[in-house]
């Protein structure tokens, strides 16, 4: 009986040693010999805000052709009933002759001021939400080395290209405000046209010379809702944001199959945007007037990023992972034919989920 036990003891011990060795091999990170990795991920953008500026402005008032009035130099009125711009000298002395107004009622001889007013929707009624549409990212990692004495830390270079559609709009019916600013002129003088209404509107030229007006308003502006007025708005912004990332990375194995990946560096964004708007102002007893327009723009944005992701190994070559990125591309601010658009990409957060292949 003891002979039989001895006969099977050695083969069984050998089998157990082989199984233990195989188990030990499996407990190691199995892609240590893979120095390249490609990842494909879905990309979700958060904390991105956008807004239109100057909604309801530019009605001058009720231009028959649906376009704001212009100055003799070709600039659009920057007020509903006139304009004030620096003249050819740059108005470094605080005065300008490049100004104009429409009505004698705008002149206050007692205060030596000319009032200019701007129409506009109540800012608190304007939406700033950005539609959340998922994009994608393709990432390439190139391993440069391993620090065995630093918990098997890997390090290398990471590059990525990504795409994210961005859109927002303002649509609805709003109150229309009138904000009035007062510009000073020298005491004892009278603006042209005040005593000769037939010469109004008065339009000073950029080159000058002409009647001098203070280049900045005095005192706080006054704002009031125009009684019975309504502003119907449909403004739309759409953009394609192509992004590029490049920077170093480090990776720490947390267990046999779970790794923590940290990277950061330069980010570049190519923003291809378009905007269109249509706004109709209705005043009691005065009818309606519509302003509309559109525009396109292409610009490059530069900034930085930091990224943290966790990868779980499902086979020798394949991983699944989730990633959180913080990215700062600054603020995009453009004017499209008098309509301002602002897109804040300075505190963007992106959440990604995808798969990786190591080779």
Question: In angstroms, what is the C-alpha Rg of the chain?
Answer: 33
Identify the pLDDT of residue 10: 46
Model pTM?
0.72
Q: How far apart are CA 232 and CA 11, in angstroms?
A: 88
The mean pLDDT value for 171-189 works out to 91
Q: How confident is the model at residue 122 (pLDDT cuts 50, 70, 90)?
A: low
The most confident of the ranges 34-43, 65-74, 281-290 is 34-43
Which of the two residues, 308 and 54, has the higher pLDDT score?
308
Is residue 110 within 8 Å of 228, Cβ to Cβ?
A: no
Tokens read off for 340? 């301002």
Mean pLDDT, all residues of the chain:
85
pLDDT tens readout for residues 213-253: 999 999 899 988 888 888 899 999 999 999 999 999 999 98
Model pLDDT for residues 307-316, shown as the tens digit of each residue:
999 999 998 8
Residue 340 has pLDDT above 80, yes or no: yes
User: 245 and 328 in contact (C-beta within 8 Å)?
Assistant: no
Query: pLDDT tier at 120 (50, 70, 90 boundaries)?
Result: confident
User: Per-residue pLDDT for 325 more than 60?
Assistant: yes
pLDDT reading at 293 higher than 90? no
- The answer to whether the peptide bond before residue 209 is cis (omega within 30 degrees of 0) is yes
CA 181 to chain CA centroid, Å, is 30
Contacts of 146 (CB under 8 A, 6+ apart): 32, 152, 153, 154, 155
């Amino acid at each position: 009986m003891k002979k039989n036990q001895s006969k099977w003891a050695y083969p069984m011990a050998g089998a157990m040693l082989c199984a233990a060795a195989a188990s030990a091999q499996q407990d190691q990170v199995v892609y240590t010999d893979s120095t390249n990795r490609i990842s494909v991920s879905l990309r979700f953008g958060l904390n991105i805000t956008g807004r239109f500026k100057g909604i309801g402005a530019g009605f001058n008032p009720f231009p028959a052709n649906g376009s704001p009035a212009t100055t003799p130099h070709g600039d659009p009125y920057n007020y509903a009933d006139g304009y004030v711009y620096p003249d050819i000298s740059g108005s470094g002395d605080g005065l300008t002759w490049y100004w104009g107004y429409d009505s004698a009622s705008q002149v206050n001889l007692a205060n030596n001021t000319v009032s200019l007013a701007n129409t506009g929707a109540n800012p608190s009624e304007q939406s700033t939400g950005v539609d959340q549409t998922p994009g994608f990212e393709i990432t390439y990692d190139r391993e440069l080395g391993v620090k065995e004495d630093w918990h098997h830390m890997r390090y290398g270079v990471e590059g990525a290209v990504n795409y994210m559609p961005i859109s927002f709009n303002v649509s609805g019916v709003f109150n229309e405000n009138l904000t009035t600013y007062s510009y000073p002129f020298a005491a004892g003088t009278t603006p042209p046209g005040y005593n000769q209404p037939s010469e109004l509107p008065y339009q000073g030229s950029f080159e000058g010379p002409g009647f001098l007006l203070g280049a900045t308003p005095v005192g706080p502006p006054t704002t009031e809702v125009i009684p019975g007025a309504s502003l119907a708005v449909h403004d739309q912004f759409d953009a394609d944001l192509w992004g590029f990332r490049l920077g170093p990375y480090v990776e720490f194995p947390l267990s046999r199959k779970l790794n923590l990946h940290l990277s950061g560096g330069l980010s570049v964004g190519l923003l291809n945007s378009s905007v269109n708007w249509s706004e109709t102002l209705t005043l009691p007893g005065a009818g309606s007037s519509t302003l509309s327009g559109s525009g396109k723009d292409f610009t490059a944005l530069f900034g930085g990023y930091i990224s943290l992701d966790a990868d779980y190994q499902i086979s020798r070559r394949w991983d699944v992972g989730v990633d959180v990125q913080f990215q700062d591309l600054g603020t995009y601010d453009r004017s499209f034919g008098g309509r301002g658009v602002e897109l804040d990409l300075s505190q963007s957060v992106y959440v990604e989920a995808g798969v990786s292949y190591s080779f």
